[in-house]
Amino acid sequence: MSEYNSVNASPTCPYSLNLTGATSSCLPCKGRWPERPEGCSVTQQDTIELTCDNLDLDNLRADVFIAKSLGVTRAYAQKLIKSGCAENIKKSSQKVILNNIYKITLPEPENNFEIEPEEVKFEVIYEDKDIIVLNKPAGLVTHPGHGNWHKTLAHGLLYKYPDMRLLRNKLRPGIVHRLDAVTSGLMVTARTQEAYEILQKKFQARAITKKYLALAHGVPVKRTGILSGAIGRDPDNKLKMAVIDETHGGKAALTGYEVIKNYNNKFSLIICSLFTGRTHQIRVHLSALGHALYADALYGAPKHETLLNNRIFLHSWRLEFNHPVTNQFMKFCLPLPCELRDILSNLNSTEV
């Protein structure tokens, strides 16, 4: 067994709570992307509008303009033009015109999207020829989409590990799970197609343990529990997810939790265990329970609470799995970053 900076903490979750019904880099151009919840990737036949609003771009070749704007390879930009996906652009050598708007349709990007490697800072915790375990900093988007075309983790992985370009998924090379941009902590990625497919199956089978540390407003009535409200897009706010009945499009979601510290009944430090991987799952479940995360204004925290990189108090703390190739058991634990430790040091705690 391999163990890295591990600590012993195995929360039990004897209670089940069903929340259904609970209240609960500068771009050289401007691109407008259809609104969708943070973290949702590009889908088939999505269209983005690119505006040539910079004098340096005026009279630039169309393929170069598209490549720079979207953070894709020039060859892929040429494919888009040749296949008729660039409105008002007939050929790659065509020159773009200042203040013109160009509509680009992106077909099936999960299979064909070719992003250009860019240097991005992230900490590697462990690596071998098959996998990488890394510390994603808050403020870093996992992969392109939702208006984030440059300097994502996917760009950085391709820059640091050129061999990952051989993976079939060009939009999310090696990425088998994700963290919100406002969240920090541990992630595992694959370096080979074999490892990628095995890790995908492990996540689908819930064979990978993921635990987070969260600071929430107030204190849950029950110290431990499992939150089971289905999650779907909030019908009143496209940027949010919400607890929604499965008959109305919600998808089953399970979040285990254990309160480990009580801060004068004003805040509680909670270990959260993900048994499913819905968008914003922990944030949605705790908010629906009446305990929004610190600095998470989108889900009900006071707007005056702010943290560096517009982050929230949610950190991917612990990751456990069997290696996809060797089957060796691996366990990783990553302490809270300093900006989150500083928040806790300013609170008066009462041991639970």
Among all residues, which ones are annotated catalytic? 180
Q: Report how far Cα 288 is from the mean position of its chain's Cα atoms.
A: 21
**CB-CB neighbours of 228 under 10 Å:** 18
Q: How far apart (Å, rounded) are the C-alpha atoms in residues 58 and 96?
A: 6
- DSSP conformational letter for 137: P
> Three-state DSSP class for 66?
helix
Task: Write the DSSP string, 195-258.
Answer: HHHHHHHHHHTT-SEEEEEEEEES--SSSEEEE---EEE-TT-TT-EEE--GGGT-B---EEEE
Question: Which tokens sit at 343?
Answer: 């928040």
Q: How far apart (Å, rounded) are the C-alpha atoms in residues 115 and 149?
A: 9
Residue 70 φ/ψ, nearest 5 degrees: -100, -5
Closest Cα partner for 27 from 93, 72, 59, 74? Answer: 72
Q: How far apart (Å, rounded) are the C-alpha atoms in residues 237 and 228?
A: 22
Q: How far apart (Å, rounded) are the C-alpha atoms in residues 241 and 263?
A: 28
Are β-strands 329-333 and 2-4 bridged in parallel, bridged antiparallel, or unpaired? parallel
Closest Cα partner for 306 from 281, 135, 141, 298? Answer: 298
